[in-house]
Amino acid sequence: MIIQIKGNVTYPITLDPTVWIFDDRKIKWEDAFSVGYESEVEEDEVTEHNNRIRPPVHNSVTKQNKKDVLNHSYVMPIIEFLGHAEVSNDAKEAILESDTTSTTITLDQLEQSLLLFAVDGSVVKDQGPAHLYFDDGSNREHPIKGIKKIHIQ
């Protein structure tokens, strides 16, 4: 299950959330809406250049780490991928399309969003491949589910 980012971008890209489980940029669900999360993202921006040069899986996974990884739920900041797609400066909003619905949000909201891609170490099966949460947690009870395409306008 994939998610396409297309529209008013220089490089349309395809995301595969099933491979993010061993990506160092992921954030544990329980830490995602904490106060320290924003400063952690700012620190990660410093290493953006390094992430472009080589894949962001720097730490080898031991057996113990693998067990730990497979017991948690994780989100991924979508801003990581919008930078690679190179969103146009005149873009203002994003349409999140699922099989049955479409939801329009501002580009700012999208940039500050998190994609839930793993629940208890497994891919999101219920209306997957990912659920979108705003980083302030305002839609925690009602995330945007079943996203297949993100159309930037």
Render the chain in DSSP notation, one character per residue: --EEEEESBSS-EEE-GGGGGG-TT-EEHHHHTSTTHHHHHHHHHHTHHHHHHS-S--SPPPHHHHHHHTTS-EEEETHHHHHHHTB-TT--EEEEE-SS-EEEEEHHHHHTEEEEEEETTEE--TT-S-EEEETT-TTSSS-B----EEEE-
Rounded to whole angstroms, how far apart are CA atoms 117 and 132?
9
Residue-range domain boundaries for the chain: 3-50+62-152
Tell me which CATH homologous superfamily contains domain 3-50+62-152: Oxidoreductase, molybdopterin-binding domain (3.90.420.10)
pLDDT digits (tens, 9 = 90+) for 33-60: 885 554 444 445 545 544 554 555 555 5
**pTM of this structure:** 0.78
Q: For residues 24 and 59, give the distance between their C-alpha atoms in angstroms, rounded to a whole number.
A: 8
Going by C-alpha positions, the residue among 77, 15, 81, 11 that lies closest to residue 52 is: 81
Per-residue pLDDT tens over the stretch 59-107: 555 555 666 767 789 999 999 899 999 999 999 999 999 999 999 999 9
User: What is the pairing mode between strands 122-123 and 113-119?
Assistant: antiparallel
